[in-house]
Amino acid sequence: MAQTEAYHDPGTPEEQTRRTFMANAVVALGGVIGLGLAIPLLGSTIPPADAKVDPWSPLAPDEIAALKKATDTPVKVYFRLHEANGYFGETDREQFVWAVKVDEATLRRKRPELFGGVEKVPYPVVSLGFTIFSPICPHLGCPYEWKAEKKRFHCPCHGSEYTNLGEHVAGPALRGLDPLPLRAYDGTVELTWIEYKQNQPDHFVLKVG
């Protein structure tokens, strides 16, 4: 019984104060250690302030050849997307876009929203005689495919469909396909990878390059 009573004895006020202080000190020390670990880990995911990431990805000769095969029937063009961040460093991964041959007057007539209004983009949507489309469906981000028998792009996830020029013609998407920048530079052809926010009519940029 004496042992049980001693176990439940809260101790003198001085002893209680000392125990409370030690408990708080342990919690505070743990917080400091956690913060000390978190700061360098978080910082490692952020590129240095002086890091320069080129948003343009050059096409290899065979990729340029694939681009030139585009007519009013879209073709898939693969390229190496260069990415850099403070945690993984610089990497290259295979990505693709859709290319279709078109003149600006035709695209202005078919998709006037790209040249004015909420869907306007701040770069030429026709370059070198081609328009490049992101392979990401603007509804909820699924990859879509060209269906030659229907002469339409079709998204298998939710049924959105688009013409060869990216006009939205069926399904729940709120805008047409997203064009990407293309340019001739220093003897080669380059494009910029842009990811836009999905399921809204305007082009809100989430990621470049």
Instruction: In whole angstroms, give the CA distance from residue 169 to residue 116.
Output: 20
Predicted pLDDT at 31:
47
Residues 133, 152 contacting (CB under 8 angstroms):
no
pTM of the model: 0.73
Q: What is the pLDDT of residues 113-138, one digit of tens each?
A: 999 988 899 999 999 999 999 999 99
Predicted pLDDT at 169:
97
Domain 56-208 indexed as CATH 3.30.565.10: no
Q: Please, which pLDDT band fits residue 42 given cuts at 50, 70 and 90?
A: very low
For the chain, the structural domain boundaries read: 2-44, 56-208
Torsion sign (Cα): 165, 166, 170, 174? negative
Is residue 87 predicted with pLDDT exceeding 70? no
